[in-house]
Amino acid sequence: MALNSRERKFNRLIDQMEAADKGERHTKVIRLADRIAVEYEDLLDLDKELHLKSISGIACVKAGKYGEAQSNLGDILEYNFKSGIPVADSQHMYWWLRAHRHGDDKKAFDEFTRLRDDQTAINMIREVEEMRPVTQPTGKGWKFWKK
């Protein structure tokens, strides 16, 4: 089936975001991911949304946007935990800890190596999320989360 112009634009934006990620242009990655989540919500399936949240979450850590990073990466870890995918020793958990420790790689790595199991990891994330102030979203976006 041929793609319509909107689907082609969506795919171009995904490609641009991935190129920006490879080029370490973190602010551009975040901006494109947010745009895709809002403007193309109807074209996002779960896999694409997980991919967007992953790339955006890591870019947020690198750009110093720790709250946004924790939220994106926490959503992925919560989904993985509920799906039976290991989280305690995952890349996403490491980056979540870096965000939680405001970019302090040493503290994050020390905490990461001490995690023993997935339940402990997910409890830590949930505890932090409960303390975070609730903000109103500016657009639709991220449809698979926060139901």
For the cut 80, the answer to whether the pLDDT of residue 147 exceeds it is no
Domain annotation covers residue 142: no
Are 126 and 100 in contact by the 8 Å Cβ rule? The answer is no
**93 within a domain of the structure (yes/no):** yes
Angle in degrees, CA 105, 106, 110, rounded to 5: 115
Which residue segment(s) compose the domain that 88 sits in?
5-131
CATH at residue 53? 1.25.40
Res 140: pLDDT: 46
> Does 140 reside within a domain?
no
What does DSSP assign to residue 43? G
From 83, 82, 114, 77, select the one nearest 96 (Cα to Cα): 77
- Angle formed by the axes of helices 46-63 and 66-82, to 10°? 150
- Entry pTM: 0.82
The interaxial angle of helices 91-100 and 66-82, nearest 10 deg, is 150
**Residue 46 domain flag:** yes
Cα(77)–Cα(121) distance, integer angstroms:
9
- Give a yes or no: residue 37 inside a domain: yes
Q: How far is CA 67 from the centre of its chain?
A: 11
Task: Kindly indicate the confidence band of residue 137, based on its pLDDT and cuts at 50, 70 and 90.
Answer: very low
* Domain count for the chain: 1
Long-range contact set of residues 102-107: C-beta below 8 Å, sequence gap at least 24: 102/66, 103/61, 103/64, 103/66
- Cβ atoms of 76 and 58 closer than 8 Å: no
Q: What is the pLDDT of residues 25-78, one digit of tens each?
A: 999 999 999 999 999 999 999 999 999 999 999 999 999 999 999 999 999 999
**pLDDT > 60? residue 138:** no
11 in any annotated domain:
yes
What is the chain's alpha carbon radius of gyration, rounded to the nearest angstrom? Answer: 16
Is there a domain that residue 79 lies in?
yes
Residue 101 lies in a domain: yes
